[in-house]
Amino acid sequence: MTENPQISAVLEYIEARERELGEQAGQLRSRVEELTARLSELDAESESLRITRETLLAIPAPAPADETPRPDVPDHPAYQQILTALTDAGRPMRARDPCEALDLPILPKNTEGIRCKLKRLVARGIVTEPEPGLFTQPRT
């Protein structure tokens, strides 16, 4: 090459600097490859989540479960009064208790009439009889 020591020193510096820059560029290229791979992974996961969201939103809502039809309460107002007394009491009642709640005299004909109506409500599934003679509204 050249015999000039100053030019030789500059050329050596340039060669050393080129090597340094080459190494740094190689490291950066390697890092860029890693980041590009990671970016591809994140994009794929994001796309998967987007597709999942769209799929879930496209699923129709399930039809509501058919509710069991409520039994019909007899039309006579006494049945409504008995049910109101049971609801207001909030506890199981004997036939005598609705008589008192409805201000009926405690006579056998009244308690038997109420008991008969309570039994009819039990038969229709409106009231339950957890033990003989004890009536309550079913828990929902």
Q: Packing angle between helix 108-123 and helix 77-89, nearest 10 degrees?
A: 90
Tens-digit pLDDT profile for residues 7-28: 999 999 999 999 999 999 999 9
Does this model's pTM top 0.75? My answer is: no
pLDDT tens string 88-131? 888 899 999 988 888 889 899 999 999 999 999 999 888 999 98
pLDDT for the residue numbered 61: 83
For domain 77-136, give its CATH number from 3.30.310, 2.60.40, 3.30.70, 1.10.10: 1.10.10
Mean residue pLDDT of the chain comes to: 88
- pLDDT value at residue 64: 75
Domain ranges of the chain: 1-59, 77-136
Positive or negative: CA dihedral 126, 131, 134, 139 = negative
